[in-house]
Structure 1
Amino acid sequence: MQTAILIPARDEAEALPRLFAALDDERISQVVVVDNGSRDATGDIARSAGALVVEEPRPGYGQACLAGIERLRLDPPDALVFLDADDFAAARQLAVILQPLDDDEADLVIGERQARGAGGVRWHARMGNRLVLEIMRRLYGAEVRDMGPFRAIRWNTLESLALDDTNYGWYVQMQVRALRAGTRVRGEPVRFERRTVGRSKVSGSLPASVRAGWVMLRTLVVEAARRDPVASRPASVSGGRR
């Protein structure tokens, strides 16, 4: 299965060398870094590592993802992995989220971050995550335990969801539309390490986490109220092996 990696990045010049050093999987056919208006050498470092760099000056996490997807449409892979530029632990665990796709057990696999405490996801980020997931569980019976950005999806599944969110509601929109469309959604436990270089755009700040949490909650409400073909079939969900 040919797999592309999509990395949205803004001011991640410090993080990218370590991330690329951790990427080692024979299924990777292409790495796309979307430079989302960086003021440092993010794009140059990505190019020097052999990545395809897409320039997207318009701000927004989802905006960066959409720009990368548009470029990949020229030569689409079988599957796409979304990976944050500072998630070095995830880069070493590609097999965990790709195996269910290889085994035809899932169409969307979400990495469920396991670390807690000083090195894990900060408490304010966990709280917002938990609220959105609980609402999702009540609405759709979803058993996936995280809204983490480390995830893999079949290309044809991704295209069928017609994602268009340009902000931090991107992953909520993906999960809700997948569930409502009957997509096989699976969660797989992955190790998580808090970033040690650079600065987190969201979880490193309580105000930023609150704003992102509000955006995710608003996106969930909007998506739950939609009446369109994407939401026409019952959901199929499963938890990962534990």
Structure 2
Amino acid sequence: MTDINVIIPAYNEANSIAKVIQEIPSTVSEIIVVNNNSTDDTAINANRAGATVLNETRKGYGYACLCGMDYIAKKSRKPDIIVFIDGDYSDYPEELNKIVKPILDDNVDLVIGARTKALREEGSMTPHQIFGNKLATFLMKIFFGSTFTDLGPFRAIKYEKLMAMQMEDKTYGWTIEMQLKALKNKMTYIEIPVRYKKRIGVSKVSGTVKGSIFAGLKILGWIFKYSLR
């Protein structure tokens, strides 16, 4: 039986985290919520919903993901697949089986849940999010011949491939770092269209001007860094 672990980075997602956990399919063996220095009841609610809760006091999406990976690396039994999903309930957790299917059926290394326009709730992505995604994926196509259309956070990857990437980004560049390393290491990948809705609460990245600017700079920085290698 395939062993699937889910990592959910979460900062102040008390109102949504239990919903995310409860709607993750039973095919998952462990749900790991990384409480990223929340000031609300995120950790309490995640624990009550049945997740393993870790605490990462260094704020940053990448820090939270790395914390979850470090926990998994220390387990005696390693999973076959890691799924990442946000804790804000903007994705549809029940679509997880659709995300992992290409790995199970076709031996694909990385699957990105693409937030296609036809499946997005109106207003679920800000104009600068949409523009940033288009710019980043356009540059990846120019520099690397990529077919990516999105940097969506809902994604699945083979555990061994994830560990081989030696991920390092601590903040906003986590998702694009993974996609760039998949391209550079000639891993197989595919996008699966997924539904996307307005998140519960306010985004800590796209919901602020500062967050949007820093995320954009980080994403562009990773692209140009890899284009020069």
* TM-score, normalised by the number of residues in structure 2: 0.93
**Counterpart in the other structure of 1:49:** 49
What CA deviation, in whole Å up to 9, does each residue of 1:88-128 have, x standing for no partner? 53312101210001113410000000245634311110101
Letter in 2 for 1:9: A
What CA deviation, in whole Å up to 9, does each residue of 1:8-52 have, x standing for no partner? 0011111112212221x2320000000110111111111111111
SS at match of 1:118: coil
Q: Judging changes above 3 Å, is the alpha-carbon distance between structure 1 residues 116 and 33 closer, same or farther for their aligned structure 2 residues?
A: closer
Q: Given the alignment of the two structures, is residue 200 of structure 1 paired with residue 223 of structure 2, yes or no?
A: no
Q: Matches of 2:52 and 2:225 in 1, distance apart? A: 34
Give the percent of matched residue pairs that are identical in Structure 1 and Structure 2. Answer: 37
The answer to whether the 8 Å contact 1:149/1:171 transfers is: yes
**Counterpart in the other structure of 2:149:** 145
Letter in 2 for 1:209: S
**Counterpart in the other structure of 2:8:** 7
SS at match of 2:179: helix
Q: Which segment is superposed worse, 202-211 or 78-87?
A: 202-211
**Counterpart in the other structure of 2:167:** 163
**Counterpart in the other structure of 2:88:** 86
**Counterpart in the other structure of 1:111:** 113
**Counterpart in the other structure of 1:71:** 71
Unmatched tracts of structure 2, length 5 or more: none
Count the aligned residue pairs: 224
SS at match of 1:47: helix
Q: Judging changes above 3 Å, is the alpha-carbon distance between structure 1 residues 88 and 147 closer, same or farther for their aligned structure 2 residues?
A: closer
Q: Given the alignment of the two structures, is residue 218 of structure 1 paired with residue 221 of structure 2, yes or no?
A: yes
What CA deviation, in whole Å up to 9, does each residue of 1:25-80 have, x standing for no partner? 23200000001101111111111111111110011110110000000112221000
Q: Judging changes above 3 Å, is the alpha-carbon distance between structure 1 residues 129 and 88 closer, same or farther for their aligned structure 2 residues?
A: closer
The answer to whether the 8 Å contact 2:7/2:33 transfers is: yes
Q: Given the alignment of the two structures, is residue 31 of structure 1 paired with residue 34 of structure 2, yes or no?
A: no
Q: Matches of 2:193 and 2:205 in 1, distance apart? A: 22
Q: Judging changes above 3 Å, is the alpha-carbon distance between structure 1 residues 73 and 117 closer, same or farther for their aligned structure 2 residues?
A: closer
SS at match of 1:172: helix
SS at match of 1:95: helix
Q: Matches of 2:42 and 2:174 in 1, distance apart? A: 22
The answer to whether the 8 Å contact 1:9/1:36 transfers is: yes
- CA-CA distance at 1:208 after TM superposition: 2.1
**Counterpart in the other structure of 2:126:** 122
Runs of 4+ in structure 1 displaced over 4 angstroms? none
Q: Matches of 2:10 and 2:142 in 1, distance apart? A: 33
**Counterpart in the other structure of 1:60:** 60
